[in-house]
Amino acid sequence: MAEPVAILAAPTPSARQPKSMWAYTLKRIPVVVWICGIVLLLMLLFAILAPLISPRSPFDQSLMLRLKPPIWMAEGEAGYYLGTDEVGRDILSRMIYGAQVSLSVGLVGVVIGSVIGTVLGMLAGYFSGPIDEIIMLLADMQLAFPFILLAIAIIAVLGPDPSGSIPWKLIFIVGISGWMTYARVCRGVVLTIKEREFVQAVRALGGSDGRILFRHILPNILSPVIVLATLDLARLIILESTLSFLGLGVQPPSPSWGGMLGQGRQYLDTAWWLSTFPGIAIMMTTLAISRGGDWVRDMLDPTLRSA
């Protein structure tokens, strides 16, 4: 007589179902990246909600409150948490409104530079020949010339943006400062992709060059473009601060972090808070963006992921 065979019950579908990608990704985020994300979220909230959370207008002046220290110091004035500047304006309010300028210029500049560089890099890599040589020559020419001098020359010709208006000239200058990196990376990726089997198949079926570029090649180069954009944002914020520090960016009395640094440098001995707090804001924002960009690069690059 045959012995009975034990039949194991099949696992339920819920037991075999893998974890969601969102839960897996959130579990792998380091603590440092969480801190950087919180810092960036706070900066974005300050920029978006500036009229609601700002203690007072960034343009209100009072010579009676000139160069008051932060509130925790002996001569601090109630309600002026980070002190006042040389004409009695609230430092905290100007920093909150300055976040609007720095982040908006950086974000729009990244969009402009990434779009221009991606399109030109795709054209250079796909068509090669004279188009490739001309685009790469333009990139090499801009890389060989110090951009800060080029920015000064452009602003000297166009003139600075008027105070209180959207700094479109500054956004344009910042945007064209880094298209070369996008173009070089996209060109190299397109050179390897355009000979793949799926591109040859689309070309054999009669697909146009535009369809091949924007329907089949572009989705395959978005990953390095996103990584470059996250890392380039910090550089553009510093570039905007540099131009404003030199008096070539956002014009007074409009608040910007770089402009506040420039206006407070002559008071460093007597009123250190004028330049210290805007400098800390620039440092924290760029550091958070850079560290977050490194994590995004590690997540999007399969060769850098841990097992």
Q: In the Cβ-directed half-sphere of 15, how many Cα atoms lie within 13 Å?
A: 4
Mean pLDDT, residues 30-52: 90
Instruction: Characterise 167 by phi-psi region: left (phi > 0), alpha (psi -120 to 50), beta (else).
Output: beta
Is a pLDDT exceeding 90 seen at residue 214?
no
Mean pLDDT, residues 279-301: 86
Residue 109 pLDDT: 92
φ and ψ at residue 84, rounded to 5 degrees: -130, 165
Concatenated DSSP letters for 35-63? HHHHHHHHHHHHHHTHHHH-SS-TT---G
Q: Which of 15-29, 195-209, 279-293 has the lowest mean pLDDT?
A: 15-29
Residues 72-92 have pLDDT tens digits of 988 888 889 999 998 999 999
**Sign of the CA dihedral with 129 first, then 134, 135, and 141 last:** positive
Q: What span, in angstroms and rounded, lies between the C-alpha atoms of 140 and 159?
A: 27
Quick check: is 222 in a domain? yes
Q: What span, in angstroms and rounded, lies between the C-alpha atoms of 41 and 2?
A: 69
Q: Residue 16, Cα to own-chain centre: how many angstroms?
A: 41
More confident residue, 243 or 297: 243
Residue 84 pLDDT: 92
Mean pLDDT, residues 265-274: 89
Quick check: is 212 in a domain? yes
Quick check: is 51 in a domain? no
Structural domain span for residue 294: 79-304
pTM of the model: 0.83
Split at pLDDT 50, 70, 90, the class of 4 is low
| Helix intervals (H) in the chain | 13-16, 21-28, 31-48, 50-53, 91-127, 129-144, 147-158, 168-175, 179-193, 197-204, 209-211, 218-245, 257-264, 273-300
Q: Into how many domains does the chain fold?
A: 1
CATH assignment of the domain containing 227: 1.10.3720.10
More confident residue, 27 or 30: 30
Residue 139 pLDDT: 92
Residues 137-183 have pLDDT tens digits of 999 998 888 888 888 888 888 888 887 777 888 888 888 888 999 99
Mean pLDDT, residues 80-109: 91
Quick check: is 4 in a domain? no
Average pLDDT, whole number, for the chain?
A: 85
